Structure 1
């Protein structure tokens, strides 16, 4: 049954960050967990999700039993979907004014941490670890975009 495999995916994503194996994670890990499940919330959406599931006591932690129903609903209702591939590509192409097909990490970091809805340092590092070609120290954004927009095999 579909819901079962969704719950298994949520459980394994959560467990990666449940360092004490006590069914809780640090609230700051929630964005990473949600992104690892193929959803890309804005800061505002992430804030709403956290507000919905955060415990009154002790603050700063999220319990699995609270996270599971909310995250299941997000996945089943296809909420917080990533931006379509062509729009994502256009965004990178705007930054790549010389049409080189790649960006250097400093360029991208400067843009994403200072403009619009800025990335935190942590989010920036997470993105670069996924996007950066370690040998050339460049971001070949076409490859990165197709990796990010690959359909989830639910």
Structure 2
């Protein structure tokens, strides 16, 4: 059984390495095993991870050179990203959990929240969003005709497929 688990682990590792390499190569425009540091967030998200800005910052500190060059080398990125995937860090929140959270906010059970309600919850509760983050999110979430968010549709659109 231990041997079987080891084999599974090696297969998972090989699969992660392949995915990481493919995601990295998309942004390795010079084909020299480096990417612009500004692309790292996109690469990480394309691998199904959703780190916060703070977590992304910490991750960058791990993969950057001693003297930051503005570029990240594949050799440094691969082991750190493999560890992130193995530990299932920064997983997106499951759909049912998101839905329950919205339903709590929608106390009248209407199936939607108005733009005003959404702004209120986003700015008064927990870690406040910046004006820029708010606008970016609202433009994606709010239906311009009704000026509200149908959260069931929004969640479906937002949740990244696990496959």
With normalisation by structure 2, the TM-score equals 0.65
Q: Which structure has the larger Rg over C-alpha atoms?
A: 2
Maintained 8 Å contact 1:55/1:62: yes
Q: Which residue of 2 aligns with 1:16?
A: 26
Deviations 1:42-67 (A, max 9, x none): 11111111111111234321111111
Q: 1:118 is matched with which residue: 94, 117, 129?
A: 129
- 42 and 58 in structure 1: CA distance in 2 versus 1, 3 angstrom threshold: closer
* Contact 1:14/1:25 (8 A) holds in 2: yes
Aligned residues of 1:40 and 1:80 also touching (Cα < 8 A)? yes
After TM superposition, where is structure 1 displaced by more than 2 Å over at least 4 residues in a row?
56-59, 86-105, 107-122, 124-129, 138-153
- Which residue does 2:82 correspond to in 1? 72
Matched, 1:85 2:95: yes
What RMSD, in angstroms, separates the aligned Cα atoms of the two structures? Answer: 3.7
Q: Tell whether the 8 Å contact from 1:43 to 1:117 is kept in structure 2 after alignment.
A: no
Alpha-carbon distance between aligned partners in 2 of 1:84 and 1:18, rounded to the nearest angstrom = 31
What residue number does 2:47 align with?
37
Please give the alpha-carbon distance, in whole angstroms, between the structure 1 residues aligned to 2:124 and 2:103.
18
| Structure 1 residue 100, shift from structure 2 partner | 6.8
* Change beyond 3 A, Cα 1:111–1:35: farther
Q: CA offset at residue 25 of structure 1?
A: 1.2
Please, which runs of 5 or more residues in structure 2 have no aligned partner? 1-10
Where structure 1 has 5 or more consecutive residues not aligned to the other structure, the ranges are: none
Rounded to whole Å, the distance in 2 between the matches of 1:67 and 1:83 is: 24
Aligned length: 152
Provide the rounded CA distance (Å) in 2 between the counterparts of 1:32 and 1:120: 21
Contact 1:132 1:139 in 2 (8 A): yes
Equivalents in 2 of 1:95, 1:109: separation in Å?
12
